Amino acid sequence: MKSKIIDFYDGFEGEGEIQFIQVLDDGNKSVIRIWEGYFDDFMEKIEPTSNGWTGLAYYYNLDEGWYDDSPWKIPNVAETLSQLKQIENVEFRFPESKNVINEICILLNKAIEDNICVYIARE
């Protein structure tokens, strides 16, 4: 089994790590490793809808999902992609957050095209 790893965690060893994991049909994986600070940076930019929190932001704000069970399957990849695309041009605390979002959006878009599940792991 081969893994393609995109690393935004290097240099943050010992701090929180989030992984977006796509397991391909042939058993290979695509993994994006990110520092939890980048993850918090962009998740905090997602606004609730008129009905409250939805999608990935719902689980983030309630400390559920990958906080309880890791790796955790993202229930709605298309909604997660939509949420991230809505904030890709906002101002972040960390300039690298934009690159992180871009790579995650590429992974999510490919998962939608290929009908593949995406997981989040908190390491």
| pTM > 0.85 | yes
| pLDDT tens for each residue of 59-105 | 999 887 787 888 999 999 999 999 999 998 899 999 999 999 999 99
* pLDDT at res. 25: 78
Question: Which residue from 111, 119, 112, 94 is spatially nearest to 8, judged by alpha carbons?
Answer: 94
* pLDDT at res. 1: 64
- Taking 80 as the threshold, does the pLDDT of residue 2 lie above it? no
